[in-house]
Amino acid sequence: MSGRISDSTVRRLSLYLRMLRDLERAGVELVSSAELAERAGATSAQVRKDLSLFGSFGKRGRGYLVGPLSDTLEEILGLDHAWKVALVGVGKIGSALLGYRDLSPRGFDVVAAFDVDPSKIGERVFGLSVRSLDELGETVSARGVEIGIVATPPQVAEDVARDLARAGVGAILNFAPVELGSVDGVPVRTVDIVLELEGLSYVLAAARRGAERSREGA
Amino acid sequence: MSGRISDSTVRRLSLYLRMLRDLERAGVELVSSAELAERAGATSAQVRKDLSLFGSFGKRGRGYLVGPLSDTLEEILGLDHAWKVALVGVGKIGSALLGYRDLSPRGFDVVAAFDVDPSKIGERVFGLSVRSLDELGETVSARGVEIGIVATPPQVAEDVARDLARAGVGAILNFAPVELGSVDGVPVRTVDIVLELEGLSYVLAAARRGAERSREGA
DNA sequence: TGCTGTGAATAGATTCACAGCT
DNA sequence: AGCTGTGAATCTATTCACAGCA
């Protein structure tokens, strides 16, 4: 079983799980790899391969049992219990995240929020009172926070990430537009909105260049 | 030159461009692939390979000229002019995006915002007045909007994406937690925060399992 | 018969390693 | 001497194709 699992496989597992939950809610009991593949934007072989990296969960000739597979994926993804999350940086994105209702039902409980701005400290944002950045280490350790979210300006993102790592966080989600790779051995995933837009810009520009070239009759 | 360029290459090009702009501001004139690689979390060979897909921009024995390479990358990525963007869904994430100051200096001008909620229509959010979704097609076509952002609940995301595509948008950035692949031939990139958190959850869970296994002495 | 599970084949991305300029 | 540009080698991910079971 399970050797080194690629990031893209993990992404797809999340997508499969989402679909399985929908199917479960709809009362469907059995699903084939082809059906799962369809909505996740993958192929049936891919679905089977992804799942087979962790074990044999299907019934030959029939498909997969929705409930049990759903449970198995939750366990594999570590979603069978809630994670404690701390947010650093209560600016626009930070506040939006605090107000985002889908986090805790999905197993991510934001239990603390930090900022440097004195005018924000003590304020309640969506029911959570903002603490001073100075308390970060202490609070994170004391409450056993497992995941940190960095929503600060890029200049301080790396320092904040390091503080979170030192305080004992095991993984970091970074919204600042800087590549952090991993800090002090703690894995970081970066969500970089401008980078995504630039990716789309490339596609548009490339299409435009292609259109011109064919107009020229190359 | 330029055949089919992978997504990961385009991502890295954006990162290189960012660094080049920093270096330019700092007055640096020449940079080696190794230096570029370092901060972008890549290898020097990767940098050279990525760039060579588009042409030969370096000077053997010296490195790359910061200014010219920066301009070239801007052109390749289509960032040598501003793109017109429309936002659909002025909820928490949508408003945060409207307030995000880094968009227009990076060449993405949000020129229209839409929502279904009558209490929001007509309101001004960060200087932009929210329009009814009914006006989407008309406004997007009339203003020549090129990129659409979907920040709606997942249930309507696909419909909204299709409306944007039909109105003539050439690319879509989706924040709703649904895989859209591409709609009516228009490329879609999805930013899925819960998916990213679940990816981190997997890493934490896997690490935990690993720790247990070694404690058991397997 | 129908669909899983999986080795084998293929495609794709990254890294190596070195010839070729400056 | 130093660093680019790039074919060749390697490593990783995806797809094929079919034996094996229900």
**What pLDDT is attached to residue A210?**
83
Question: Is residue A153's pLDDT more than 60?
Answer: yes
Question: Is residue B110's pLDDT more than 80?
Answer: yes
For the residues B48-57, what does the mean pLDDT come to?
98
**What pLDDT is attached to residue A2?**
59
Question: Is residue B115's pLDDT more than 60?
Answer: yes
Q: Which of A65-69, A142-146, A208-212, B56-60 has the lowest average pLDDT?
A: A208-212
Token couple for B37: 């690689």
Q: Grade residue B214 by pLDDT with cuts at 50, 70 and 90.
A: confident
Tell if the CB–CB gap between B108 and A172 is shorter than 8 Å. Answer: no
Question: Is residue B26's pLDDT more than 60?
Answer: yes
For the residues A143-164, what does the mean pLDDT come to?
98
Length of chain B: 218
In chain B, which residues have their Cβ closer than 8 Å to the Cβ of A199? 7, 10-11, 14, 189
Question: Is residue A140's pLDDT more than 80?
Answer: yes
Q: Grade residue A3 by pLDDT with cuts at 50, 70 and 90.
A: confident
**What pLDDT is attached to residue A61?**
96
- DSSP conformational letter for A90: -
Matching residue, tokens 């948008």: B169
Query: What is the longest distance spanned by two Cα atoms in chain B?
Result: 68
For the residues B159-182, what does the mean pLDDT come to?
97
Question: Is residue A126's pLDDT more than 90?
Answer: yes
The Cα B93–Cα A93 span in angstroms is 7
Identity of the amino acid at A81: H
- Our measurement of the distance from residue A19's CA atom to the centroid of its chain's CA atoms, rounded to an integer in Å, reads 17
Our CA angle for A184, A185, A189, nearest 5°, is 100
Give chain D positions with protein CB within 7 A: 1-7, 12-17, 20-22
**What pLDDT is attached to residue B57?**
98
For the residues B102-118, what does the mean pLDDT come to?
97
Question: Is residue B183's pLDDT more than 60?
Answer: yes
| Residue B35 CA distance to nucleotide C20 C1' (Å) | 22
**What pLDDT is attached to residue B1?**
52
Select from A99, A108, A200 the Cβ nearest to the Cβ of B92.
A99
Does A44 or B212 have the greater pLDDT score?
Answer: A44
Does A214 or A88 have the greater pLDDT score?
Answer: A88
What is the three-class DSSP state of A134?
Answer: helix
Give percent of chain A above pLDDT 70: 98
**What pLDDT is attached to residue A217?**
64
The Cα B91–Cα B84 span in angstroms is 21
- DSSP conformational letter for A202: H
Half-sphere exposure in the Cβ direction for B133 (13 Å, CA): 19
- Our measurement of the distance from residue A208's CA atom to the centroid of its chain's CA atoms, rounded to an integer in Å, reads 33
Which domains are present in chain B? 7-76 (1.10.10.10), 83-195 (3.40.50.720)
- DSSP conformational letter for A135: G
Q: What are phi and psi of B170, to 5 degrees?
A: -100, -10
**What pLDDT is attached to residue A47?**
98
pLDDT tens for each residue of A177-190: 999 989 999 999 99
Helix (H) or strand (E) holding A115: strand A108-115
Question: Is residue A73's pLDDT more than 70?
Answer: yes
DSSP string, chain B: ---PPPHHHHHHHHHHHHHHHHHHHTT--EE-HHHHHHHHTS-HHHHHHHHHTT---EETTTEEEHHHHHHHHHHHTT-SSPEEEEEE--SHHHHHHHH-TTTGGGTEEEEEEEES-TTTTT-EETTEEEEEGGGHHHHHHHHT--EEEE-S-HHHHHHHHHHHHHTT-SEEEE-SSS---EETTEEEEE--HHHHHHHHHHHHHHHHHHHHHHHHT-
pLDDT tens for each residue of B66-85: 999 999 999 999 999 999 99
Does A3 or A201 have the greater pLDDT score?
Answer: A201
Token couple for A216: 């020229």
**What pLDDT is attached to residue A214?**
76
Does A218 or A82 have the greater pLDDT score?
Answer: A82
pLDDT tens for each residue of B122-146: 999 999 999 999 999 999 999 999 9
Helix (H) or strand (E) holding A89: none
User: What is the rounded average pLDDT for all residues in chain A?
Assistant: 96
**What pLDDT is attached to residue B76?**
98
Distances (CA, A) of A76 to A32, B6, B200: 20, 30, 12
Asked if the Cβ of residue B63 lies within 7 A of any atom of strand D, the reply is: yes
**What pLDDT is attached to residue B217?**
64
**What pLDDT is attached to residue B97?**
98
Count the Cβ atoms, other than its own, within 10 Å of residue B160.
25
**What pLDDT is attached to residue B2?**
61
Distances (CA, A) of A75 to A13, A33, A172, B137: 11, 20, 20, 44
The Cα B85–Cα B147 span in angstroms is 5
| Residue A104 CA distance to nucleotide C5 C1' (Å) | 36
Tell if the CB–CB gap between A202 and B172 is shorter than 8 Å. Answer: no
Identity of the amino acid at A114: F
